[in-house]
Chain A
Amino acid sequence: MSDGDAQEGKSESPGIYFFEYEGQVVKNLSRGMRVVSVLQLAAAVLLAAVIALILVKITAKSAIIQLVAGLPVVALGLYVIIAAVGGVILGSGSKAFSESVKKMDTDLLGKGFRKVRSYLILTGVVTIVGLAIAVLGFLGIQALYLFR
């Protein structure tokens, strides 16, 4: 960037000093998020393929087997959707961060943080629901042992 551009950017984007000297930190975050985003989307595709194979296998079986195997398949299906949504959110956040460094724009930096917040809300809600299911399942098994 030329000196003239720097002066011009300064008037348009007040966060210029931060990006000039600490832009690499934001770039690293953007790179880390992009890697996770791509891997999460890859995991969603692979998991969808695994689900499809399980579905093919259980369709010819009895209704009880279909029910027993079907529930985890539904849970895995939900996980595929959540992983895909998480991957898309992270990809969008990563893009916002890298654009913020390129354009030296604090609004884009803020957008990146909003995307990280959305990802953490998704992760948090999924973890809380998963934890609740695990605790209820554990208590249920303990209750079965106590009252059998």
Chain B
Amino acid sequence: MAEARPTTTYEALDEDRRIPFSAADERAITGLTVWCRIVGVINIIIALGTATLTLLPMIRAGIFSLLVVLIVVLRDGALLLLGLFLLQAAKPLRKMATTDVADKQYLVAGTMALTKYFNLTGVLMVLTVALLALTLFGMLLPKFM
């Protein structure tokens, strides 16, 4: 029974250092990290740009609208977080693909950051689907009245 638990074997310790991906998979993961960085940086630029373009005219005119600020914080805050999560995932995944130091640790860190990215994307998609359903309802309503 005890033989089946691999935690104390040399193989288990070795596997902490190296997860045996194929060369093609390691190239693909390196490519993934490049795109994580590109999309992450673009998301951050868009978030900061749209927040500035929305808030600057308001500040110049000396107007304060809580609704606008709330929309900016939610919309651009979410976009900023998505960008940060992607950048957070890129670093450990790249280290996992290019080194054999602590693959398991890097894979867990990268995967967790990607999970955060997809979870937040899911929340935004729920809002998108709800808005689309409302739009469709609004377009169809006059036909039944």
Contact = CB atoms under 8 A, between A and B. Distances in A.
Interface in B106-145: 107-108, 111-112, 114-115, 118-119, 121-122, 125-126, 128-129, 132-133, 135-136, 139-140
A22 B104 contact: yes
A114 B6 CA distance: 29
Interface string B36-79: 10110011001000000000000000000000000000000000
Contacts of A59: none
A20 B29 CA distance: 22
Given A18-B19, A43-B128, A114 B135 contact: no
A110 B125 CA distance: 26
B39 A18 contact: no
Interface in A25-68: 25-26, 28-29, 32-33, 35-36, 39-40, 42-43, 46-47, 49-50, 53
A46 B136 contact: yes
Given A123-B39, A127-B43, A131-B46, A7 B4 contact: yes
B118 to A, nearest CB: 4
Contacts, number: 128
B115 A29 contact: yes
B39 A32 contact: no
A106 B21 CA distance: 6
Given A46-B132, A53-B139, A127 B39 contact: yes
Interface residues of B, number: 48
Contacts of B121: 32, 36
Interface of B: 1, 3-4, 6, 11-12, 15-16, 19-22, 24-25, 28-29, 31-32, 35-36, 38-39, 42-43, 46, 86, 93, 104, 107-108, 111-112, 114-115, 118-119, 121-122, 125-126, 128-129, 132-133, 135-136, 139-140
